[in-house]
């Protein structure tokens, strides 16, 4: 394996794509600083899944504030004993999900606030996006058993996926490595995990969307 060429990597993906698992595996192996989203502490999330119309705006605002606060704190602190930083989300996630949950006028205001804050955060050297079909995502979601996620539909997941790619296309200056992991299991298979690592750390990623199928 080559020397890691990145200082800050983000593992992104849809709900149930395995981003937290992969980020944790990489951090453990490479002695990297790990940043995990604190979504489990958000009191609006279970309420949102029960009543989206009522709780979407407070949910998205609370996520926006918490993600900014966490990333600002974590990225400012340099750890000399860690090789690099890897996170299981980035701030853009706020815009991706709010575009599917907010009404048009709410999203217009939200988008303005997002880009004001977004410009003040350090940008990742590489965005890794785990691309998984909605049908498999639903199986993954069912398997992990979070009660408030069980009402998520394939249509909702497809919309989130489209929103990610809309963001990628609208911000082409970033490096996006899109990994189609439909036919591999990097958790159960050490060989599959090795393949994923080789692509992330061995491939030259140019600005824009870079697709890789296993």
Contact 91, 124 (CB under 8 A): no
For residues 123-133, average pLDDT: 96
Band (pLDDT 50/70/90 cuts) for residue 1 is: very low
Asked if the structure places residue 134 within a domain, the reply is: yes
Strands 208-213 and 175-180: parallel
pTM of the model: 0.88
β-sheet bridge partners, residue 131: 180
Question: Has 88 been annotated as catalytic?
Answer: yes
Asked if the structure places residue 89 within a domain, the reply is: yes
Asked if the structure places residue 3 within a domain, the reply is: no
Asked if the structure places residue 41 within a domain, the reply is: yes
Task: Check pLDDT > 60 for residue 2.
Answer: no
Beta strands in 78-124 (DSSP E): 85-87
Catalytic pick among 88, 105, 185, 192: 88
Count of CA atoms in the C-beta half-sphere (13 A) of 115: 8
Task: Check pLDDT > 50 for residue 107.
Answer: yes
CA distances for 2 relative to 24, 108, 142, 201, 204, angstroms: 20, 43, 37, 7, 12
In 3D, which of 4, 9, 19, 40 has the Cα closest to residue 160?
A: 19
Q: ∠72-3-19 over CA atoms, to 5°?
A: 50
Residue range 162-173, pLDDT digits in tens: 999 999 999 999
Work out how many domains the chain is built from and give that number: 1
For residues 67-74, average pLDDT: 92
For residues 174-203, average pLDDT: 95
Asked if the structure places residue 188 within a domain, the reply is: yes
Residue range 11-70, pLDDT digits in tens: 999 999 999 999 999 999 999 999 998 866 778 888 887 888 889 999 899 989 999 999
SS3 label, residue 71? helix
Domain interval for residue 163: 8-213
Asked if the structure places residue 207 within a domain, the reply is: yes
Question: Could you tell me the CATH number of the domain that includes residue 135?
Answer: 3.40.50.300
| Mean pLDDT over the full length of the chain | 91
Task: Check pLDDT > 90 for residue 150.
Answer: no
The predicted structure's pLDDT at residue 3: 65
Radius of gyration of the chain (CA): 17
Asked if the structure places residue 67 within a domain, the reply is: yes
């Amino acid at each position: 394996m080559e020397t890691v060429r990145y200082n800050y990597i983000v593992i992104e993906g849809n709900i149930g794509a395995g981003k937290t698992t992969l980020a944790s595996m990489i951090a453990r192996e490479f002695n990297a600083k790990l940043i995990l989203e604190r979504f489990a502490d958000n009191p609006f999330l279970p309420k949102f899944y029960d009543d989206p119309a009522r709780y979407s705006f407070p949910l998205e605002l609370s996520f926006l504030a918490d993600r900014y606060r966490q990333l600002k704190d974590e990225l400012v602190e340099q750890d000399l004993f860690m090789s690099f930083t890897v996170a299981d989300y980035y701030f853009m996630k706020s815009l991706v999900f709010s575009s599917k949950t907010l009404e048009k006028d709410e999203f217009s205001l939200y988008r303005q606030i997002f880009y004001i804050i977004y410009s003040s955060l350090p940008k990742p050297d590489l965005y890794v996006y785990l691309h998984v079909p909605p049908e498999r995502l639903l199986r993954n979601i069912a398997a992990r058993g979070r009660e408030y996620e069980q009402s998520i539909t394939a249509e909702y997941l497809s919309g989130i996926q489209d929103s990610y790619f809309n963001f990628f296309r609208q911000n082409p200056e970033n490096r996006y490595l899109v990994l189609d992991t439909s036919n591999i299991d990097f958790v159960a298979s050490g060989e599959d995990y090795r393949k994923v690592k080789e692509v992330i750390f061995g491939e030259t990623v140019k600005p824009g969307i870079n697709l890789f199928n296993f």
